[in-house]
């Protein structure tokens, strides 16, 4: 068998890499290019260089040199010597810093005279062109990653000035880890396989610009070989519990598919038709579509026949199955636009392409009914797309591949009702899991001895999922509800049962009435008795408002032992207000002083110096109100401190945990929590300004039209798998209008997306 795998796997791996390059250009470092040498294809002419230098010099002289000149430059950053001089790669660090500051709107400062928009755009284009010519800065493929999506000017996107036409570049989009996982579960493996394509990329996980690395491909190869073995040989018997396992010889149950059984029963060499028939069965089984005649001829003649000749029916078929599972036909979504071509060069997705695109909008697998509509010629027009999408959205029977509430790895309960565990449109809950990022609560280590109960992040994430699902079930003012609701779904409290014929003691009865374990994070009172899936519990309105005050989100955006106002503020800045923050400077030391008598907020006073505060002033004021919660998400109004003023939390608590001294035992909640903050950037003077606490902050954010529009941008990114451009302005505005007109319906907003030109049309880059 191993002798056959290289024959087909090598070809497939090469094809994978070629299509990866076609779908998302790899970084220049892949090709070993010298970053200091201009690329021949991008080497500008002398006239172009002079023109670019003139643009750069004029901009710096007009807007920058007054503060960053030779005498007392702000931030000790000089640039006067760059004016009037040819571009020198030796000055790349300064040019890169200038590009970052201007591109993110950090410079010129708001209090200074702002450049004309045309001048700023001309400056950015000239500088980015020069940087690219020397392979400096971020390449085009990097800027297409999720973390750079906010670089497109928000006001321009929703100004109405950009009329399109909208389209998406023709692309080859590798399937996501969730889709791969869902499909592999259908191929006789159950849960016994490794999921590749999992990544640590900031932002959404399913993006057309992301590519598969070597480790991912090797994992896919291992999974493919195991699927092939399972399909051809069947399940293997398990070794006996007793006896020598080394002497155990497994037996196999045999294939369960009739087509494979019949093929393996062939006496002698199979005919060309028999090989074509088994290939057609395998191709349809794995890719959910029929092969073309050219594909059949290529696969049968180039892969299946040679494998059968070398290894016989059984091993040859295993090798061929492995090949299909490593082929671009299985691993990639092809969206080239094979439908009708318009005079402007845009091409509509073909019915088959539309069938897969619609399926993957709501599900992690191709949906049979949608693909059948495509085959029957019922998926050709914009009206057809809307009809099939609405049918798909309303079909709650599609539980195959339903999302696991509280987990992205397995379905823990099968049910037809979202209130009992699963959800028939998994991509919707996956969007909110990734948008709010509360699932990362499971990745943050917490010490249970500081909790008072049992910290269980999986339960918190599951509760957050349920809370989101209850809001989606109503489908009214979805964003506003998720930002302000104080009704959280909480798993049922356990009820301590007494033995038959006995009664609980008073102590046990009181203990049974208390919230248990992880639920202490909600500050819940005694006596709650809620059944699984019942109406969410109403939390105190002055303590909780929306997912950002949910313990799952608060834990996900904290450190191991502390709250994190910077991380929380940065999330609001990017996900709700749509602003970008420059990356942490290389020389910056992101470390707080060990002041045990100071709160985290007080310790962050070290960033209020000129160099740090330029960025932190955009994050800290937004994150500070969440100091109302500790790092477990528990609401508090005072900090716990000992007689000497030391705060009994984090490292100090850890030091005294095993042998608590008198100081720790005498600790009291006596230092008031400062919950105040500052809201800015909404564009509405009635909303911008000081806030007293996180609840007020969230209610103000929920009223902002900018926050709503930024949410629309995130919806676009997730379901389109790419960052928005100015050409997508009509699509975004149509989605925003649909949301407003439908009183905040997510369904109607997505209908506007799937019927838009951005979704339907492709054009060669």
pLDDT of 282 > 90? The answer is yes
pLDDT of 20 > 60? The answer is no
> 203 to each of 152, 171, 199, 407, 582, how far by Cα in Å?
16, 20, 10, 18, 16
pLDDT of residue 574: 92
pLDDT of 130 > 90? The answer is no
pLDDT digits (tens, 9 = 90+) for 736-755: 999 999 999 999 999 999 99
Q: Token pair for residue 77?
A: 């950053």
pLDDT of 138 > 70? The answer is yes
Q: Token pair for residue 4?
A: 């056959």
C-beta separation of 760 from 382 below 8 A: yes
pLDDT of 714 > 60? The answer is yes
171 beta partners = 335
pLDDT of residue 588: 54
pLDDT digits (tens, 9 = 90+) for 580-621: 876 655 445 566 667 767 777 877 776 776 667 667 778 889
pLDDT of 321 > 70? The answer is yes
For residues 380 and 377, give the distance between their C-alpha atoms in angstroms, rounded to a whole number: 7
pLDDT of 230 > 50? The answer is yes
* pLDDT bucket at 511, cuts 50 / 70 / 90: low
Residue ranges per domain, the chain? Answer: 5-13+170-236+251-335, 28-138
pLDDT of 419 > 60? The answer is no
C-beta separation of 575 from 99 below 8 A: no
- Say which range, 120-134, 412-426, 554-568, 673-687, has the weakest mean pLDDT: 412-426
* pLDDT bucket at 525, cuts 50 / 70 / 90: low
For residues 324 and 221, give the distance between their C-alpha atoms in angstroms, rounded to a whole number: 11
Helices 305-325 and 214-233 cross at an angle (nearest 10°) of: 120
Please state the three-class secondary structure of 529-571 as a single string: CCCCCCCCEECCCCCCCCHHHCHHHHHHCCCCCCCCHHHHHHH
pLDDT digits (tens, 9 = 90+) for 637-671: 988 887 777 776 654 454 445 555 555 567 777 88
Higher-confidence residue: 86 or 724? 724
For residues 233 and 231, give the distance between their C-alpha atoms in angstroms, rounded to a whole number: 6
What are phi and psi for residue 638, nearest 5 degrees?
-140, 150
**Mean pLDDT for the chain overall:** 79
pLDDT of residue 14: 41
> 737 to each of 300, 366, 483, 537, 744, how far by Cα in Å?
51, 30, 20, 33, 10
pLDDT digits (tens, 9 = 90+) for 64-88: 878 888 788 777 788 878 887 777 7
Average pLDDT for 29-48: 40
pLDDT of 491 > 80? The answer is no
Average pLDDT for 223-249: 79
Higher-confidence residue: 33 or 398? 398
Average pLDDT for 391-409: 55
pLDDT of residue 512: 54
Which range in 87-101, 445-459, 671-685 is most confidently predicted, on average pLDDT? 671-685
* pLDDT bucket at 190, cuts 50 / 70 / 90: low
> 189 to each of 181, 186, 237, 527, 610, how far by Cα in Å?
10, 7, 14, 45, 58
pLDDT of residue 208: 87
- Say which range, 138-147, 149-158, 604-613, has the weakest mean pLDDT: 604-613
CB atoms within 10 A of CB 682: 19
For residues 677 and 734, give the distance between their C-alpha atoms in angstroms, rounded to a whole number: 34
For residues 752 and 746, give the distance between their C-alpha atoms in angstroms, rounded to a whole number: 10
For residues 67 and 75, give the distance between their C-alpha atoms in angstroms, rounded to a whole number: 9
> What is the maximum alpha-carbon separation in the chain?
97
647 beta partners = 641
Average pLDDT for 148-166: 90
pLDDT of 361 > 60? The answer is yes
Percent of the chain with pLDDT over 70: 76
For residues 233 and 102, give the distance between their C-alpha atoms in angstroms, rounded to a whole number: 62
Residue 560 Rama label (left phi>0; alpha psi -120 to 50; beta): alpha
* pLDDT bucket at 501, cuts 50 / 70 / 90: low
Question: Could you give the 3-state DSSP secondary structure of residue 4?
Answer: coil
Average pLDDT for 91-113: 75
Cβ neighbours of residue 364 closer than 8 Å, sequence gap 6 or more? 176, 178, 179, 181, 182, 183, 401, 426, 427
| Long-range Cβ contacts of 679-685 (<8 Å, 24+ apart) | 679/621, 679/622, 680/621, 681/573, 681/577, 681/579, 681/618, 681/706, 682/577, 682/706, 682/707
pLDDT of 355 > 90? The answer is yes
pLDDT of 55 > 90? The answer is no
pLDDT of residue 508: 61
* pLDDT bucket at 237, cuts 50 / 70 / 90: confident
Higher-confidence residue: 221 or 249? 221
For residues 64 and 80, give the distance between their C-alpha atoms in angstroms, rounded to a whole number: 9
Higher-confidence residue: 662 or 141? 141
């Amino acid at each position: 068998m191993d002798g056959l795998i290289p024959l087909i796997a090598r070809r497939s791996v090469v094809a994978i890499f070629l299509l990866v390059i076609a779908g998302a250009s790899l970084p220049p470092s892949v090709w070993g290019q010298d970053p200091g040498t201009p690329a021949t294809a991008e080497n500008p002419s002398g006239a172009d260089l002079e023109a670019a230098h003139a643009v750069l010099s004029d901009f710096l002289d007009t807007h920058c040199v007054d503060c960053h000149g030779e005498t007392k430059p702000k931030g000790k950053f000089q640039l006067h010597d760059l004016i009037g001089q040819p571009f020198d790669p030796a000055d790349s660090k300064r040019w890169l810093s200038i590009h970052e500051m201007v591109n993110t709107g950090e410079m010129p400062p708001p209090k200074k005279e702002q450049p004309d928009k045309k001048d700023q755009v001309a400056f950015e284009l000239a500088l980015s062109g020069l940087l690219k010519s020397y392979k400096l800065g971020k390449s085009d493929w990097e800027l297409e990653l999720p973390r750079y999506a906010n670089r497109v000017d928000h006001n321009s996107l929703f100004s109405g000035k950009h009329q399109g036409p909208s389209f998406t570049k023709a692309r080859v989009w590798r399937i996501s880890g969730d889709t791969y996982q869902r499909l592999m579960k259908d191929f006789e493996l159950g849960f016994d396989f490794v999921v590749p394509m999992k990544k640590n990329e900031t932002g959404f996980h399913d993006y057309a610009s992301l590519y598969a690395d070597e480790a991912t491909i090797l994992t896919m190869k291992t999974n493919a070989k195991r699927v092939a073995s399972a399909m051809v040989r069947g399940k293997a018997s398990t070794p006996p519990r007793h006896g020598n396992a080394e002497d155990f010889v497994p037996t196999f149950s045999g294939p369960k598919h009739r087509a494979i059984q019949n093929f393996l029963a062939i006496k002698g060499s199979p005919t060309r038709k028999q090989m074509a028939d088994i290939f057609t069965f395998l191709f349809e089984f794995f890719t959910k579509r029929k092969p073309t005649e050219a594909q059949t001829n290529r696969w049968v003649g180039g892969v299946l026949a040679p494998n059968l000749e070398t290894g016989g029916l059984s091993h040859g078929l295993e090798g061929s199955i492995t090949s299909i599972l490593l082929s671009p036909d299985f691993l990639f979504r092809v969206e080239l636009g094979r439908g009708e071509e318009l005079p402007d060069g845009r091409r509509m997705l073909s019915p088959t392409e539309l069938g897969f695109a619609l399926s993957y909008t709501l599900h992690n697998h191709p949906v049979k009914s949608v693909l059948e509509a495509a085959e029957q010629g019922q998926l050709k027009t914009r009206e057809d797309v809307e009809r099939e999408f609405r049918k798909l959205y309303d079909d709650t029977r599609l539980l195959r591949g339903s999302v696991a509430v509280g987990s992205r790895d397995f379905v823990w309960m099968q049910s037809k009702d979202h209130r009992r565990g699963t959800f028939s449109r998994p991509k919707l809950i996956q969007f909110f899991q990734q948008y709010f990022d509360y699932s990362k609560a499971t990745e943050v280590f917490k010490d249970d001895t500081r909790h008072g109960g049992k910290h269980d992040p999986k339960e918190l994430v599951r509760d957050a999922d349920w809370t989101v699902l209850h809001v989606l079930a109503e489908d009214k003012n979805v964003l506003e509800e998720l930002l302000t609701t104080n009704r959280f779904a909480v798993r049922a409290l356990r009820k301590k049962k007494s033995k038959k014929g006995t009664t609980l003691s008073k102590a046990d009865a009181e203990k049974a009435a208390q919230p248990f374990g992880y639920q202490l994070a909600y500050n819940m009172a005694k006596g709650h008795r809620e059944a699984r899936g019942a109406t969410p519990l109403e939390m105190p309105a002055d303590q909780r408002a929306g997912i950002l005050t949910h313990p799952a989100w608060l834990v996900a955006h904290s450190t191991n032992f502390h709250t994190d106002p910077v991380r929380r503020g940065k999330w609001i800045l990017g996900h709700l207000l749509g602003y970008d923050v420059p990356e942490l400077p290389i020389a910056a030391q992101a470390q707080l002083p060990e002041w045990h008598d100071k709160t985290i907020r007080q310790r962050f006073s070290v960033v209020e110096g000129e160099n740090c505060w330029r960025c932190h002033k955009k994050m800290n004021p937004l994150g500070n109100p969440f100091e109302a919660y500790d790092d477990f998400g528990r609401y508090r109004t005072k900090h716990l401190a000992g007689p000497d003023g030391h705060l009994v939390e984090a490292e100090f608590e850890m030091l005294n945990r095993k042998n608590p001294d008198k100081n720790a035992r005498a600790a009291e909640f006596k230092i008031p929590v400062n919950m105040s903050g500052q809201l800015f950037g909404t564009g509405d003077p009635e909303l911008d300004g000081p806030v007293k606490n996180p609840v007020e902050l969230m209610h103000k954010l929920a009223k902002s039209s900018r926050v709503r529009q930024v949410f629309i941008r995130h919806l676009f990114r997730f379901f389109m798998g790419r960052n928005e451009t100015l050409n997508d302005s009509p699509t975004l505005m149509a989605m925003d209008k649909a949301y407003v007109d439908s009183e905040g319906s997510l369904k109607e907003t997505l209908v506007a997306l799937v019927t838009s030109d951005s979704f339907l049309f492709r054009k060669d880059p």
